[in-house]
Amino acid sequence: MTDQHLLAMHHSEVQVSVELETPDVTLNLGPQHPSTHGVLRLIAKVDGEVINEVEPVIGYMHRGYEKLAEVRTYPQIVALVSRIDWVSGYASEVPLMVAVERLMDIVPPDRAQYIRLVLTEMARISSHLVFLSSYPLELGAPTPLMHALRERERILDLIEMVTGGRFHPNFNRVGGVKPAAGAGSNQKKVVQDLPEGFLGQTLAAIQDVVGVCDDMEDLVLGNEIFLERTKGVGIIPVDKALAYGVSGPNLRASGVRFDIRKTDDYLPYDGFDFDIPAGENGDCFDRYWVRLQEIREASKIIRQAVETMPSGDLQAKVPRIIKVPKGEVYVRAENPKGEMGYHVVSEGGRGPYRLKIRSASFSNLSVLPWLLKGQLVPDIIAILGSLDFVLGDVDR
Amino acid sequence: MTALLDNFWVLLALKVLIIAAVVPGVALVFIFAELKISAHMQSRIGPYFAGGRWGWAQPLADGIKFMQKEDLVPEDADRPVFKFAPMVVLMGTLAVFVIVPFSPKLIVRDLDIGVFYALAAGSVTTIGVLMAGWSSANKYSLMGGLRAAAQLIAYELPLVLAVVGVVIQAGTMSMNGIVVAQIEPVFHIGEVAIRLPFLLQGQVIGFAIFMIAALAELNRTPFDMPIAESELVMGYLTEYSGIRFTMFFLAEYAGMFSMSAIAATLFLGGYYLPGVPEGALDVLGPLILMAKVTLLVFIIIWLRWTFPRLREDQLQSLAWRWLIPLALANIAVTAVAKVVL
Amino acid sequence: MALRVSKVPGIGLMKGMWLTLRTLFKRPVTINYPKEKEIPVPRARGVIALDTEACTVCMLCARECPDWCIYIEGHKELQPPSKPGGRPRSRATLDRFDIDYALCMYCGICVEVCPFDALFWSPEYEYSEGSISAMLHDKERLTDWLATVPAPPPLEKN
């Protein structure tokens, strides 16, 4: 209604809505709060239980990995990058190594690629299991946590069996995977190939993982209270998701069947048969469901890879001291949280001149202020949790 | 001795002492049960070391630990209200036990309006919660307190309405009278008198509504929005520590005990079990009631460790759109049946 | 990929309750830690053991360590000549070899780069301390770990 309109109306026609003016309360969620996954801070302006505005404050866990990488050699950086997203440490190592290999024009042997692929999918399963378990916790159900972590423990044990580390494997080397325990004459003979029983135990473990997925459907996904809390809550439409750079399962939950495993060739995924699950509405429920399905797909990939594991070397021929020729390359990978990319700029030294890290959680989190506007306080947590971010991945 | 017991004040002091000793004791057992049951539902072992076998002393150890902790009061808090709130909650919970009949004689006071008193005394705890939320000078506490108040208004009504069905059927509001009404034979098959608790006499919906409303009243999952650990940190409990936190904690489990005891008395026949001779009820009655209470407490614990929590608005819609109409229908059906049959 | 969600209200709640009840009567999977212990896999990176005999104080490990948590000091010592009448050999002797486990990030690069088989991974993990300064293990303590180094696991045959 324009001003002229208002003036033209008779006084009796002007409707005045009398509402009690209430100032918004500023509610600080975090940096110390049970549900902010570490040290995220949300400054929410709330009117009762309704959120009018929310401003995420990040950087409480900034460790400066991009800067650290500039003064370290490539083998040292491998040990660092698994700490970016510690829930799926192994998956963060692979794209960096692929980037260095592309700059050096090295192709890792098949067996190394398959081991990378199996461990990456295991990292995906363990990361998604953490989400499947912690998300109900944020809605108030503590039991799924223990059930999913029970099986995640087996996956972590398998990763540890091969690499020696549960969260930070540091198992990738330029040109393949870690070939031997050391450089000495004896340790050189201690080959770090898959230990005996690994393939069999993997098959048994992924069977249990699929079993716990069924349990999660019983315990969480089919639960009417869970449906009430998640269906239609926190909808990210496709255009918003794309505009904010949302990637990974969050993007697929909005209905976009985009998976870097299918489009890029950083690992030999083209030889495997797997689907890309996609949601319909892009709400919290779909984000949960997509990750549940992705565990099943990852189990399928692991089973195929274990059955067709090629034999051969663990590492291609590489010089003793890794020196990367001048050039730059961007390699991205489908990490559990979304697109993880490394832009390596080399000036020909033993370490990068610049390493730009594109982490999934940071971009996924950027949709938050838009997404939380007008929601209720309990839904902050429901939506926040459904984006499945790790603060280390946000702040780096 | 008997002369001493006839003295009103001595008897009163004795009864107060017994309740003040037994109820927290039972609450400790329930705390331990919750620790153990939740652990095993999650493939864990649970407490194991305190006290030797099975870690039976864990709740005691926790209690001693809490008492050693500093009793912090936030600077901006409304000190008297803040300090008084846990006592109100504990008092409200303990007061309910006045009318719980453990056996035909073992009852503190068999009030004529027993049920009414129980529900009224039980809702005093919410005042304490509101006091705690308001006086803590903490936004999370305030939101928790407000949620508790909203929850009280939404759930007190179905709770009372669910009980009305039983009261109509029993024809009395005295708790003992309600148990006696359940001892009355419903019908006879030949010589055998069939005695049924009100749950089996058609108060199934009433029982379900009562239990749901009781969960909401106790702030237990799936209705624990006033505490809502993942959203409001600890809700109205956020600023409490030490002995005052212990009081809230004990009150929660004592509340489970009292609500289960009322539900067992109203719907499950209280201290009476079909087949037990009436003469033995003085001795066996408390045990029978405790068995029923334990069963109900187990269900409450079981629900807590299975379900996520609802949202506040969803809880309101559940109460106003489903439970209250259902409870009203239940009353109408019960009343008609009472007149017709 | 069909979702096993029932259309009938309440069934979802029942399924969850059935699952928790079933788990209640199953054996717990957790290990009662100080009484029972998990046996770590041979490759587990628990603590670094040092073989002082093999160490030549070449400083490679200290240099390659990403967070510089290895402190090495040494001096040259004259050894008796190997052949009678020959020149006395000079040999580097280790004075100090400390690893600060409060800084260490367990990447294993030091073990990998050691050209003389002086460093090993041991899966031992029970060496937490009350004070952060006690996390600095000197060369005697590091040598003690050597006894716990397991044999490498057999490899998968394919």
Of C20, C29, C30, the CB nearest to B306: C20
Share of chain A above pLDDT 90, in %: 2
Domains present along chain A, CATH in parentheses: 65-394 (1.10.645.10)
Contacts of C18 (CB under 8 A, 6+ apart): A218
- Residue B290, both tokens: 């405790």
Q: Nearest 5°: CA angle at A193, between A187 and A195?
A: 105
Is A43's pLDDT higher than 70? Answer: yes
pLDDT band at residue A64 using 50, 70 and 90 as cut-offs: confident
pLDDT band at residue A1 using 50, 70 and 90 as cut-offs: very low
Question: Any chain C CB within 8 A of the CB of B41?
Answer: yes
Per-residue pLDDT tens over the stretch B79-96: 888 888 888 888 888 888
Dist. CA B272–CA B128, nearest whole Å: 34
Does this complex have an ipTM over 0.90? no
Is C4's pLDDT higher than 60? Answer: no
| C-alpha distance from B42 to closest chain C C-alpha (Å) | 7
Residue A337 near residue A357 (C-beta atoms within 8 A) = no
Residue A369 near residue B219 (C-beta atoms within 8 A) = no
Q: What is the pLDDT of residue B106?
A: 67
pLDDT, average across residues A314-329: 84
Residue B42 near residue A142 (C-beta atoms within 8 A) = yes
Dist. CA A179–CA A317, nearest whole Å: 11
Per-residue pLDDT tens over the stretch C135-156: 888 888 888 888 888 888 888 7
Is C1's pLDDT higher than 50? Answer: no
> Which of A23-37, A91-105, A262-276, B200-214 has the weakest average pLDDT?
A23-37
Dist. CA B144–CA A79, nearest whole Å: 44
pLDDT, average across residues A126-155: 87
Q: What is the pLDDT of residue B152?
A: 80
pLDDT band at residue B309 using 50, 70 and 90 as cut-offs: confident
Q: What is the DSSP letter of A271?
A: G
Residues of B in contact with C28 (CB under 8 A): 39-40, 43-45
Better-predicted residue by pLDDT, A270 or B272:
A270
Q: What is the pLDDT of residue C5?
A: 55
SS3 per-residue string spanning chain C: CCCCCCCCCCHHHHHHHHHHHHHHCCCCCCCCCCCCCCCCCCCCCCEEEECCCCCCCCCHHHHHCCCCCEEEEEEEEEECCCCCCCCCEEEEEEEEEEEECCCCCCCCHHHHHCCCCCEEEECCCCCCCCCHHHHEECHHHHHHHHHHCCCCCCECCC
Strands A338-346 and C119-122, by their bridges, are: unpaired
> Which of A135-139, B282-286, B307-311 has the weakest average pLDDT?
B282-286
Is C34's pLDDT higher than 50? Answer: yes
Q: What is the pLDDT of residue C37?
A: 85
Determine phi and psi for A8, rounding to 5 degrees: -70, -20
pLDDT, average across residues B141-148: 84
Q: What is the pLDDT of residue B4?
A: 65
Dist. CA A91–CA A159, nearest whole Å: 12
Residues of B in contact with A377 (CB under 8 A): 143, 231-232
Is A18's pLDDT higher than 80? Answer: no
Dist. CA A305–CA A342, nearest whole Å: 26
Of A138, A146, A380, the CB nearest to B42: A146
Mean model confidence pLDDT for chain B: 82
Cα-trace Rg, chain C:
25
Dist. CA B153–CA B256, nearest whole Å: 19
Strands A172-173 and A176-177, by their bridges, are: antiparallel
Q: How many CB atoms lie within 10 A of CB B120?
A: 15
Per-residue pLDDT tens over the stretch C57-91: 888 888 888 888 888 888 887 777 777 777 777 77
Q: What is the pLDDT of residue A338?
A: 87
Contact B230 A228 (CB under 8 A): no
Is C2's pLDDT higher than 50? Answer: no
Q: What is the pLDDT of residue C145?
A: 85
Residues of C in contact with B39 (CB under 8 A): 28
For residue A65, the surrounding DSSP H or E stretch is helix A65-70
Q: How many CB atoms lie within 10 A of CB A346?
A: 23
> Which of A29-38, A90-99, B1-10, B64-73 has the weakest average pLDDT?
B1-10
Of B7, B30, B338, nearest to B186 (Cα)? B338
